[in-house]
Amino acid sequence: MFYDFSSALNTIQPHILCDKLISYDIRPSIVLWVLDYLTSRPQFVQLNASINSDVITTYTGAPQGTVLSPFLFSLYTSDCRSSNDDCVFDKYADDTVQIGLITDDDDSVYVEQKDAFINWCKNNYLVLNVEKTKEMIIDFRKITSDPAYVKIDNKEVERVRSFKYL
């Protein structure tokens, strides 16, 4: 399953990230610096160096286009792990892939870990973009059966035969 987040960097919750940094034994001075970096940031849009939007203050998210923001997102999602060796999550910046081994037509571990991931996303205020999330099944059996389609928030996830990853 290739998961896609909606506006991943924009949805980082600074207080949740800082709690995680503290749990990783990051020095308090660094945690406070990160909190200051992510909160109360003024933003505006400029067009042709002559038209400016109103300034708004943001309290969530990380600035786009910085080296630090993808790293902070990786730290933000680092506690999202599978609890079963037959299913793993591969993460790079804001890309997350769930890889599951299904044997004897028993997909219970895969489904359980998918559900746990979706719940983790909700608890961490990350929104999955179901339209861009894709499922790919690789089946080596001689006789195959089509498993039920996966749904996220009552929306069916598209099943694909190939996917360009990273």
Domain assignment present for residue 29? The answer is yes
- Joined together, the tokens standing for residue 123 give 């608890």
Write the DSSP assignment of 97-117 as a string of letters.
EEEE--BTTB-HHHHHHHHHH
In this structure, are residues 75 and 25 in contact, taking their beta carbons and an 8 Å threshold? no
pLDDT score of 49: 84
Do the beta carbons of residue 59 and residue 35 sit within 8 Å? no
Cα–Cα distance for residue pair 111/156, rounded to 1 Å: 14
Q: How far is CA 3 from CA 27, 41, 126, 140, 161, in A?
A: 32, 29, 11, 23, 16
Q: Which domain holds residue 53?
A: 2-160
- How sure is the predictor about 164, in pLDDT bands with cuts at 50, 70 and 90? confident
- Residue 58 forms part of a structural domain: yes
Q: What is the pLDDT of residue 78?
A: 93
Mean of pLDDT over the chain: 91
Residue 166 falls within a domain, yes or no? no
The phi and psi torsions of 56 (rounded to 5 degrees) equal: -120, 155
- Distance, in Å, from the CA atom of 17 to the CA atom of 76, rounded to the nearest integer, reads 5
Residue 90: inside a domain: yes
Alpha helices in 53-164 (DSSP H): 68-77, 108-123
Q: What is the pLDDT of residues 34-62, one digit of tens each?
A: 999 999 988 888 898 888 899 999 999 99
The domain total for the chain is 1
Residue 25 DSSP class:
T
Tens of pLDDT, residues 79-98 = 999 988 889 999 987 889 99
| Mean pLDDT (whole number) for 22-26 | 96
Q: Give the pLDDT score at 64.
A: 86
Does residue 165 form part of some domain? no
- Is 141 a residue whose pLDDT tops 80? no
Condensed to tens digits (0 to 9), the pLDDT of residues 13-22 reads 999 999 999 9
Closest CA to 91 of 70, 62, 110: 70
**Would residue 142 count as lying in a domain?**
yes
